[in-house]
Structure 1
Amino acid sequence: MKKLFSFIACCLLAACSSHQPGEISGSLSGVGSDTLIVHSFVMNLASTERPKLYTDTVPLVNGKFSLNLGNSTDLRYVQIGEFPSSKSNPDGSRPSVSMEVIPLVLLPGKSVTIEGSLHKYKLGGAPFYESLNELNTKMEPIVQKMDSLYSAYREKTQEGASQEEIQKVAAQIEKGQKDIKDTYIRFIKDHADQDVSVYLLTHGALKDDELKELLDLIAEPVRNGVMAPMYQSIKQAYEKQEERRKAQEKIKEGAPAPEFTLKDIHGKDFTLSSLKGKYVILDFWGSWCGWCIKGIPDLKQVYEKYKGQLEIVGIDCNDTEEKWKAAVEKHALPWIHVRNEGNPDVTLLYGIEGFPTKIILDKEGNIVKTVVGEDPEFYKHLDALMKK
């Protein structure tokens, strides 16, 4: 058994020294388990589907580990954490699992090494990771201070300290959060000609105007280089948010509802204006949305109650075609259903940010009421409207 253990350890050590493309390896201390769990997904901008999440478990032998995720030509997001231990405590219970994780991006054709602990570590293998180490060094005193402030806030809250004392600590936390964001912004500006700057755009809770400024600062070679998928993804998300914000300025009570034409569940064109002369409910929903499904019985009652006066248009959001059609059939939804595939993206057209969202239109196609979430007030408002 000892020989087998030594053989495995030697294999791991050999693997750690070879640094093949797509490999993550290194040494971690303080892990309360003999196994790591690694979640990863390929960042493929060309696909509109949600990325497939891969999960691997990796043995820790004397604190050392190695895993090869393959030499992908795409960026791969990776998160490394502690897997529940296979060993029990003397009392028969299982050791608690650390919630700390190491997040990183695996560059195409590169390897990365990790040395340290889940809480404090250094990355190696490419200049990209060295830059992250530089940032982590700058962030360390701020993070330590924030940890102390969070602990102080919890203690004062639990001890029943005065609101004045609690608010004083809260103000320090708010200042610390600003320091963190400012540190990220300065670092991105100072490294705008490096790949790491794109990765850091997803950090620091940036406001829209701050994000826009930094997107414009990123050097052209970086935008079009290995980080192009991430840059384009961030840029598109920002542009969609801007489009949604501008739409929300127009989606007001009394304003005309934006026109759209989408394919219905039978593959035929449906145009919103074809329903003029009736009250209309636009129901933005998805089979994945628990509150959407919970509200179906009430929506069915309304549809039956006002049949002939009212039409409902269910707008599929963030579903596959198969799941959408299956949900319509399973719940026997008798109203009009259209598929929102993004051309146009009706959720952006109407500034939708939460699900379900229901919008009531009058007989002339003007917006009467918008309600986000499953709220009884929606039905009270509809009943009052239909009695007019």
Structure 2
Amino acid sequence: MLKTLVITAIGLLAFSANAQQGFTIKGKLTGVKNGQKVMLSYRTGEKEVNDSAIVRNGSFLLKGKVKDVTKAKITLKDPKADKEPMTMEKMMAMDEQDFFLENKAFSVAGSNMKTALIKGGAAQADYLVLKSQLKPLEDKMKPLSEKMGQYFKENNEKAKDELFPKLRAIRVDMTKVEDGFIYQHPDSYVSLDLVESKSGVIDPKRFEPFFKALSPRIQNSVKGKDLAARLKTAKKIDIGQPAMDFVQNNTKGVPVSLSSLKGKYVLIDFWASWCGPCRQENPNVLKVYQKFKDKNFEIIAVSLDNKKEAWLKAIAADGLPWIHVSDLKGWKNAVAADYDVKAVPQNFLVGPDGKILAKNLIGKELEEELGRLIK
């Protein structure tokens, strides 16, 4: 009898261990038609994973495995939905929500996906706490966002300009709530996600206190280690530091180095032909270049294009007469990696001594800074 109990206990432990090796998501949605598709998307390591299940009698089941806690998105779609391009209205109407996925059992319950309650795992429990803290501000923002959408449709610039400060003020209050959550929950993957959201362009002085607030366990997670490495790079390319030298080919295949321009004021301009904001900013940069090009000033533009034809066409179309280089590897551009460029446009103003003087000078800021430096 004792032997049987021991064997049974071992079997249960083995079953429990196996059950925790992956995740399960069991959903029950009322008012949802049979045949609708539930889409699940998330990252595990470097891999982007997309999975799906069909709703039957309001229920669905998804299974999988993740390497670490990760933010995921779950969406309810009609397979018969039109194939027209995505619009802002369609995007806003998507029946979906984010949640924190880990190798645990999850439940999804509600009338639709957007308002469903998703439970499972410690990180998701933390996320529900954060959502409850943000809800009053989101409720205030929702009608204003709808108004802003209407003003965009109407091209009502005056109304947009008047409404924007109100939206911005609410966003500032939401950021305060999120920042408070980081300090109150240092051992949470939700806090890690919030810190990562501040890493588009890392300012070490602002970013490091939030990163250091995280617990050692979270800092040593896969994502935490990546952010630590990026923070280290950000310190190397901070204002006052020597700009890292690089060599890439110009439009004619001739190697050009940053160090060959030492002795001049140099703007390292990261851009791409496909980047709308970059193309919008180009006329401003061109105006500044024409004003200072004969005053010891040069621009070396590093493109994140991967197609030479598109790159050359954009240079010609925008009339950009300065130095252009690229390895045509897109987001894997070697210089962009060295300078931790995760978004474009970005730029670095380098002085004649090779040290970084300023970063991300947009619009009139570049002209004003050069006017102050170059007499």
Fold shared by both chains (TM-score > 0.5): yes
Asked if 1:127 is matched to 2:138, the reply is no
Residue 303 of structure 2 aligns with which residue? 285
Structure number with larger C-alpha Rg? 1
Residue 180 of structure 1 aligns with which residue? 174
Q: Distance in 2 between matches of 1:145 and 1:204?
A: 23
Q: Which runs of 5+ in 1 are unaligned?
A: 1-17, 45-50, 89-95, 251-257, 303-309, 325-338, 374-388
Opposite residue 295 of structure 1, the aligned amino acid is: A
Opposite residue 27 of structure 1, the aligned amino acid is: K
Opposite residue 40 of structure 2, the aligned amino acid is: V
How far off is 1:216 after superposition?
Answer: 1.2
Asked if 1:222 is matched to 2:218, the reply is yes
Residue 37 of structure 1 aligns with which residue? 39
Cα RMSD of the aligned pairs, angstroms, is 5.2
Distance 1:137 1:219, change over 3 A: same
Distance 1:31 1:294, change over 3 A: farther
Distance 1:239 1:115, change over 3 A: farther
Asked if 1:232 is matched to 2:251, the reply is no
SS at match of 1:66: strand
How far off is 1:196 after superposition?
Answer: 3.1
- Residues 213-362 of structure 1 aligned to structure 2 (within 5 Å): 213-224=209-220, 228-246=221-239, 260=245, 282-288=300-306, 292-295=311-314, 314-316=325-327, 318-319=329-330, 340=335, 345=338, 347=339, 354=344
Q: Distance in 1 between matches of 2:227 and 2:77?
A: 31
Q: Contact (CA 8 Å) 2:300, 2:325: kept in 1 or not?
A: yes
Q: Contact (CA 8 Å) 2:305, 2:326: kept in 1 or not?
A: no
Deviations 1:186-233 (A, max 9, x none): 122111133432123245899845532221111223323xxx112223
Distance 1:23 1:357, change over 3 A: same
- Residues 88-237 of structure 1 aligned to structure 2 (within 5 Å): 98-107=93-102, 109-116=103-110, 117-154=112-149, 163=158, 169-203=163-197, 208=203, 209-224=205-220, 228-237=221-230
Q: Distance in 2 between matches of 1:105 and 1:169?
A: 33
Distance 1:154 1:366, change over 3 A: closer
Q: Distance in 2 between matches of 1:242 and 1:295?
A: 33
Opposite residue 76 of structure 2, the aligned amino acid is: E
Distance 1:87 1:19, change over 3 A: farther
Distance 1:261 1:171, change over 3 A: closer
Asked if 1:22 is matched to 2:15, the reply is no
Distance 1:229 1:355, change over 3 A: same
Residue 86 of structure 1 aligns with which residue? 80
Deviations 1:216-257 (A, max 9, x none): 111223323xxx11222334444444544427x87xxxxxxx
SS at match of 1:214: helix
What percentage of aligned pairs have identical amino acids?
A: 17
How far off is 1:181 after superposition?
Answer: 0.9
How far off is 1:35 after superposition?
Answer: 0.7
Opposite residue 22 of structure 1, the aligned amino acid is: F
Q: Distance in 2 between matches of 1:21 and 1:264?
A: 47
How far off is 1:284 after superposition?
Answer: 1.4
How far off is 1:34 after superposition?
Answer: 0.8
Opposite residue 211 of structure 2, the aligned amino acid is: L
Distance 1:76 1:126, change over 3 A: closer
Moved more, 131-140 or 22-31: 22-31
Residue 327 of structure 1 aligns with which residue? none
Tell me the matched-pair count: 293
Q: Contact (CA 8 Å) 1:36, 1:80: kept in 2 or not?
A: yes
Q: Distance in 2 between matches of 1:282 and 1:204?
A: 27
Q: Contact (CA 8 Å) 1:81, 1:100: kept in 2 or not?
A: yes
Q: Distance in 1 between matches of 2:163 and 2:260?
A: 58
SS at match of 1:53: strand
Deviations 1:344-371 (A, max 9, x none): x2x46xx896469899999x9999xx99
Opposite residue 24 of structure 1, the aligned amino acid is: I
Deviations 1:317-344 (A, max 9, x none): 65499xx9xxxxxxxxxxxxxx6595xx
How far off is 1:54 after superposition?
Answer: 2.6
Q: Distance in 2 between matches of 1:210 and 1:361?
A: 24
